[in-house]
């Protein structure tokens, strides 16, 4: 395993900078997730790490070595594509064996290593099948086995779970994380799904328009967002943003609760609102409403856990509030977070 680093990495297209001077540092053995909306540059960044795109400027380093101009095959990396990119004309065995055959590994060794990789993912019985005979989940495992068999220093994964149906996705996520922990290989993972990012990453890099807005642990990114973009991208439903004089104040839906839910000693800020709509989701209720004056017309969402049984009806006004220390403040123009005044 190795570190991965980018220095002022930029990729220019006619329409603008897809990746805009990114400095990224991935630690050894870390599972780093690149997350952001489509078009934010995360896939372009990953492809430059792989050597599938040449940067307009800047450098890529793997294991401390500058690899910016090296072709993919010289970087000692492995990649799993969104579509898995299995070779349709080869059997599963052939697919997994391919990188070793390309490197000229001896025949006997090839067979043993393929067996080992296949058993790691439980696909030994599929070795003689062709990709078109496999289900989506099985193909994904073959792609992973092919990546693992070369014992690379870095894994690059480009949305490998997005082609699976929802149920499969959660179990696949679980397996993926376990297997990465076991191997301990440095991994860079791209996804647009912020739930996936939060669930998988040791650290998350939130990207938009070619720049990293924040790089931190899931906890940091959720509880201490660096700007309004991160604050509203991470977390579903998104954070409520309210005008507050010359600032924007943010409060997460689960922090906006009926006044009665708070202890008497908590310093709270009142946010009374009129309810427009309620969604009953089982474990939670999502309450959509409009605030009273002075912030009339601001729409907010509150998330009430099922523990709170207070009856809520549409059209009525309720006294909700937020703990003062839960409020986040952002600069209105730049969107950046404002450090709390002491």
Find all residues with CB under 8 Å of 315, minimum gap 6, and list them: 274, 275
Q: Please report how close the Cβ of residue 34 comes to other proteins at its closest, in angstroms.
A: 17
Residue from 2, 19, 34, 78 in contact with other proteins (CB under 8 A): 78
Q: Which stretch binds other proteins (CB under 8 A): 82-90, 191-199, 260-268, 301-309?
A: 82-90
**Alpha helices by DSSP H, the chain:** 42-50, 92-103, 107-120, 136-148, 166-183, 194-200, 218-223, 228-233
The rounded Cα 99 to chain-centroid distance in angstroms is: 28
Residue from 103, 111, 281, 296 in contact with other proteins (CB under 8 A): 103
**How many helices and strands, by DSSP H and E, does the chain display?**
8, 20
**Contacts with other proteins in 28-67 (CB under 8 A)?**
50-52, 59, 61, 64-67
The yes or no reply on residue 305 touching other proteins (CB under 8 A) is no
Residue from 13, 23, 128, 184 in contact with other proteins (CB under 8 A): 23
Could you tell me where the beta strands, DSSP code E, fall in 169-298?
186-191, 203-208, 211-216, 240-244, 247-251, 257-258, 268-270, 273-280, 284-291
- Cα–Cα dist 13/332, whole Å: 31
Q: Please report how close the Cβ of residue 11 comes to other proteins at its closest, in angstroms.
A: 15
Q: Smaller CB distance to other proteins: residue 61 or 261?
A: 61
- Cα–Cα dist 188/79, whole Å: 10
Find all residues with CB under 8 Å of 230, minimum gap 6, and list them: 206, 213, 214, 221
Residue from 13, 57, 69, 269 in contact with other proteins (CB under 8 A): 69
**Contacts with other proteins in 234-273 (CB under 8 A)?**
none
Q: Smaller CB distance to other proteins: residue 64 or 294?
A: 64
Q: Please report how close the Cβ of residue 156 comes to other proteins at its closest, in angstroms.
A: 8
HSE (CB half, 13 Å, CA atoms) of 161? 23
The DSSP symbol for 259 reads G
Q: Smaller CB distance to other proteins: residue 52 or 183?
A: 52
The yes or no reply on residue 8 touching other proteins (CB under 8 A) is yes
The yes or no reply on residue 4 touching other proteins (CB under 8 A) is no
- Cα–Cα dist 167/128, whole Å: 27
Q: Please report how close the Cβ of residue 68 comes to other proteins at its closest, in angstroms.
A: 6
- Cα–Cα dist 154/241, whole Å: 39
- Cα–Cα dist 157/177, whole Å: 12
The yes or no reply on residue 111 touching other proteins (CB under 8 A) is no
Find all residues with CB under 8 Å of 321, minimum gap 6, and list them: 256, 257, 258, 259, 262, 268, 269, 270, 271
Residue from 99, 160, 216, 235 in contact with other proteins (CB under 8 A): 99
The yes or no reply on residue 299 touching other proteins (CB under 8 A) is no
Q: Which stretch binds other proteins (CB under 8 A): 68-76, 169-177, 250-258, 303-311?
A: 68-76
Residue from 46, 79, 157, 176 in contact with other proteins (CB under 8 A): 79
Q: Smaller CB distance to other proteins: residue 89 or 340?
A: 89
- Cα–Cα dist 45/55, whole Å: 9
Binding residues (CB under 8 A) for other proteins: these are 7-8, 23, 25, 50-52, 59, 61, 64-73, 77-79, 81-83, 85-89, 98-99, 102-103, 146, 150
């Amino acid at each position: 395993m190795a570190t991965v680093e980018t220095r002022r990495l930029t990729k220019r297209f006619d329409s603008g900078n897809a990746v805009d001077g990114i400095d990224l540092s991935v630690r050894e053995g870390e599972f780093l997730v690149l997350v952001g909306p489509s078009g934010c540059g995360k896939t372009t960044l990953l492809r430059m790490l792989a050597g599938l795109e040449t940067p307009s400027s800047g450098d890529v380093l793997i294991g401390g070595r500058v690899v910016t101009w090296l072709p993919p095959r010289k970087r000692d990396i492995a990649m799993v594509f969104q579509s898995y990119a299995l070779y349709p004309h080869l059997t599963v065995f052939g697919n997994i064996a391919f990188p070793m055959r390309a490197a000229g590994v001896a025949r006997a060794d090839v067979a043993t290593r393929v067996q080992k990789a296949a058993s790691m993912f439980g696909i030994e019985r599929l070795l003689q099948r062709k990709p078109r005979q496999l289900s989506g989940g099985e193909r994904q495992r073959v792609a992973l086995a092919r990546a693992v068999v070369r014992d690379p220093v870095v894994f690059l994964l480009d949305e490998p779970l997005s082609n699976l149906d929802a149920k499969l996705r959660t179990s696949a996520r679980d397996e993926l994380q376990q297997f990465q922990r076991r191997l301990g290989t440095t991994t860079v993972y791209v996804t647009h799904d912020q739930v996936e990012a939060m669930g998988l990453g040791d650290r998350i890099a939130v990207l938009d328009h070619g720049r990293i807005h924040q790089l931190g642990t899931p906890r940091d990114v959720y509880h201490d967002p660096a700007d309004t973009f991160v604050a509203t991208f991470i977390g579903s439903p998104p954070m409520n943003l309210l005008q507050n004089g010359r600032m924007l104040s943010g409060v997460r839906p689960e922090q906006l609760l009926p006044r009665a839910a708070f202890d008497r000693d908590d310093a709270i800020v009142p946010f009374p609102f009129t309810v427009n709509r309620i969604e009953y989701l089982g474990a939670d209720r999502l309450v959509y409403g409009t605030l009273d004056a002075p912030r009339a017309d601001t729409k907010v969402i509150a998330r009430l856990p099922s523990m709170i049984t207070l009856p809520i009806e549409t059209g009525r006004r309720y006294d909700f509030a937020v703990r003062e220390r839960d409020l986040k403040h952002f600069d209105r123009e730049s969107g950046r977070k404002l450090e709390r005044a002491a």
